[in-house]
Amino acid sequence: MINEGIMLPFYTLLGILPIMAVVVHALGKTKEKFLLANVSYIASYVLLACLSVKIRSTGISELPLFSLRKAFVLNPTSLTLATLMTFASHMLLLGAYMNRKSVMDKFDVILFMLFSAYGIIFSDNLIVLLLFMEIGLVSTAFLFIERNRESIEATVKMTIMLILGGIFLAIGFSGLYLILRSKGLDLIALSLSYLSGTPQLEQGSMSILTLLFFTLILVGMGIEVGLVPFYMWLPDVYTGPMAIASAFFILLVDTADLYALLRVLPLYEHILTGTYTIKMLFTNVVVLISVISFILGELSALTQRRLRRIFGYSGIADAGYTLLLATYLAILGISIVKPSIPLAIATFFILFSNIALSNIVSLIGLGETKGITTIDDIRGLPWRFPLLSANLIISLLSLAGVPPLAGFMAKFFVISAISSTFRRLIVILVIIFFGVCAAYVLRVIATLWSKTSRVTREEESVIQLIPFIILNVLLIICGIYPRLILEFMMR
């Protein structure tokens, strides 16, 4: 239902970011850019808070974009995700500024990334989703590009791959639209809320076509999030650009894309329900891709020596788990628009995995200025930089799934979700590869604590680490009391 009382704050939220980005771009001094970027973030908090309060009383709201009805949908899950993502990226922004990272010149681009993330999270229409994904791609490319070979290479690879992904998505969405238009539907047919309530399509050749177009959508989304076999660009993106730039990508664009996967993929359950066996076939293919993704991701990380690359592969594994969760939502027939416990726990997983990953990558980036790039370089780090090491260890432990951190709850939710729906073999595989993840993370931690020669304490600033400390505190709080977030997501 379209709620006009929500339109103003929502469009202000969407509108303010690109406008502020342009203004930031026009400003000369870094300090002014930083201040204005902070103002944009504060404005975002306020507007998100207004929207959250409104949603509590009005319920789920659908919003148009020009003549396109149902372009956006607001629900508590997406608002909570957006809020936490905003907060975490704000911390990264502060961290970048305090540590004098080169992204300080690109606050405008970061605001655009945030804008694209909002668009992806709140989009209700597949075309709008694709549009914001492309905006995300462009802004990420601008953020990554630096005057060094590795970052240029990573940017080019990412751009090419994501353009390909966008093409597959465009073809898939268009095909779907054509099929549905033959039923007399307009662009509203591409609305997620509409499609998740769509009556079943009849059997026959039409359903095969739908299946083929949906496969293209799956491939397109697979490229966007880094599923196997479309994953190869993802580790490069973790290693090539500046660490803080990669961290922004992980937190904003990657998280939003994974959330989009959670919402788009389950549509097949509603669209293909007329043909049970075809739906089962598609489910099996999706599960196969997800299993291969997390197996490949975790195994590849196991013997990796470059620190950021280890976590790049971890990102691939997380994409695999997310796809599995999306399939879980599909099998349950969950509405991807209305808040529900399965959607909330899946969102919890992607959010806190990516917060941990972005924090780890940022902290490694801080270490890179001191010559730390491979796993051997971190030996004795706690003695050299105790506070940096402590922060890194907390984020690593969260990623490994050690209680009482958020990563443990995230993984626990994944296991409890899939154990009720999938075969025992899948559950066992997930548990084993969570164990593999813990193994390579703990390998990093163990290497941290080993030292080959005398190491002396070097100077480190507490103030510069405060944003990352705050993110770790968030991981701890949400690990001890995950219900706090889940209740917000389901209210």
Partner 1 sequence: MSLATISLLIPLLPLVSSAIVPLMIRVRRRYVELFSVIITGISLVLSLVLLMDVVLNRYELPLFIRYTSSIPSFSIFIDELTLVMLLIVPIVSFLVVVFSLGYMKEDEAYIRYYTFILLFIGGMLGLVLVGNFLYLYLFWEVVGITSCCLIAHWYRRPEASKAGVKAFIVTRIGDTFLLASIALIYLRFGTLSYRDLISKMMLSSTITSPPINIAKLLTIPLILAFIGAMGKSAQFPLHVWLPDAMEGPTTVSALIHAATMVKAGVYLIARFETLLHYSGINPVLLMPFFKTVVLIGGFTSLFSATMALVALDVKRVLAYSTISQLGLMFLALGLGGYVGLHEAFTAGVSHMLSHAYFKALLFLSAGAVIHALETRDMRLMGGLRKYMPITCTAMTIGALSLMGFPPLSGFISKEEILKVASEAMKVMPWGSIFFTLTSILTAFYSLRLVYLVFFAPPSEYVTKHKPHEAESVMTIPLISLMVLCFIAPTFLLYVLEGYKIEVHIHGLLKSAMILALGAGSAYLIYFKEVISRERVLALRPITVINEILFNGYYIDFFYERVLLKVLMGLPSYIASVIEQGINFIIDRASVIILGSLPSYIAFLVDSGVEAFNNALVRLFVNLSNILRSLHTGEIHHYVSSVIVGLVLVLLIILVGVMML
Which residues of this protein are in contact with partner 1, per CB under 8 A? 153, 156-157, 160-161, 164, 168, 208, 211-212, 215-216, 218-219, 222-223, 228-230, 232-233, 235-236, 277-278, 281-282, 284-285, 288-289, 296, 299-304, 436, 462, 466, 469, 473, 483, 487
Residue 180: both structure tokens together: 């549905």
Nearest-approach distance from CB 333 to partner 1, in angstroms: 21
Name which of 209 and 445 has its Cβ closer to partner 1: 209
Q: Are 2 and 64 in contact (CB under 8 A)?
A: yes
Name which of 43 and 292 has its Cβ closer to partner 1: 292
Nearest-approach distance from CB 201 to partner 1, in angstroms: 15
Name which of 134 and 460 has its Cβ closer to partner 1: 460
Q: How many CB atoms are closer than 10 A to CB 379? A: 18
Nearest-approach distance from CB 191 to partner 1, in angstroms: 26
Name which of 165 and 367 has its Cβ closer to partner 1: 165
Nearest-approach distance from CB 281 to partner 1, in angstroms: 4
Alpha-carbon gap, residue 218 to 222, rounded angstroms: 6
Q: Are 145 and 152 in contact (CB under 8 A)?
A: yes
Name which of 165 and 380 has its Cβ closer to partner 1: 165
Nearest-approach distance from CB 8 to partner 1, in angstroms: 32
Q: Residue 125's beta-bridge partner residues?
A: 191
- Helix (H, G, I), strand (E, B), or coil: what is residue 62? strand
Positive or negative, the CA dihedral 398, 390, 307, 244 is positive
Nearest-approach distance from CB 351 to partner 1, in angstroms: 19
Phi, psi (rounded to 5 degrees) for 125 = -110, 140
Name which of 34 and 230 has its Cβ closer to partner 1: 230
For helices 107-122 and 126-144, the axis angle rounded to 10 degrees is 160
Q: Are 401 and 408 in contact (CB under 8 A)?
A: yes
Report the amino acid identity of residue 473: V
Nearest-approach distance from CB 336 to partner 1, in angstroms: 22
Name which of 185 and 436 has its Cβ closer to partner 1: 436
Nearest-approach distance from CB 461 to partner 1, in angstroms: 9
Name which of 23 and 152 has its Cβ closer to partner 1: 152
Half-sphere exposure of 263 (CA within 13 A, CB side): 31
Nearest-approach distance from CB 487 to partner 1, in angstroms: 7
Name which of 187 and 310 has its Cβ closer to partner 1: 310
Longest dimension (CA), the chain: 75
Element (H, E) at 427: helix 424-449
Beta-sheet pairing, 68-74 with 61-65: antiparallel
Report the amino acid identity of residue 438: A
Alpha-carbon gap, residue 404 to 477, rounded angstroms: 8
Nearest-approach distance from CB 230 to partner 1, in angstroms: 5
Name which of 445 and 477 has its Cβ closer to partner 1: 477
Alpha-carbon gap, residue 469 to 180, rounded angstroms: 50
Nearest to 108 by CA among 38, 47, 37, 44: 37
Q: Are 322 and 225 in contact (CB under 8 A)?
A: yes
